Amino acid sequence: MASIREQILAALTTTLGSTTGVTAVYRSRAAAIARAEAPVLIVQPGPGRAQRHSTCKLHHTMDVEVIVHTRGEIPDVLVDPIIVSAHALLMADTTIGGLATDIVPTNDNPQLDPADLSSMWWVHTYEVQFRTREGDLTQA
């Protein structure tokens, strides 16, 4: 069975599949995005932390990066409706189907590609909190 962390990432990727205005949603995509593919979303894990919650339980905090990649004359304008749609989908169930205790947006980081100013990556970071058993990362 997959860890709670991996189950959360898979659930978020599935949820974001309903985002308005994107051609695809990828999980930790390593390959370059072709011009014709944009706009797309990429969901990938960021840093995580854990601390003991109680005897035999750990409380985890994991950053999840939701990256919007667009291309166009004014790429930050193109990003906005995608961000609005993705954010609404994520915040509709802050327990991610019972896998998490909470999800909170924490950071935005827009990045223009200096070699192609029509290309933009906008990284939205969400902090996901969840619990596992101390000896079994697949069980809450």
Distance CA 3, CA 107 (A): 25
The CA radius of gyration of the chain, in Å to the nearest whole number, is 16
Q: Spell out the per-residue pLDDT of the chain, length 140, in tens.
A: 899 999 999 999 999 999 999 999 999 988 888 888 999 999 999 999 999 888 889 999 999 999 999 988 888 899 999 999 999 999 999 999 999 999 999 999 999 877 776 889 999 999 999 999 999 999 98
Q: In what order do the strands lie in the sheet with 116-133?
A: 24-27, 40-54, 57-71, 116-133, 102-113
pTM recorded for the entire structure: 0.92
Sign of CA dihedral 27, 12, 112, 38: positive
Which CATH homologous superfamily contains domain 4-28+37-133? Answer: Phage minor tail protein U (3.30.70.1700)
How many residues in the chain? 140
Q: What is the pLDDT of residue 54?
A: 80
Q: What is the pLDDT of residue 118?
A: 83
- 3-state secondary structure (DSSP) of residue 55: coil
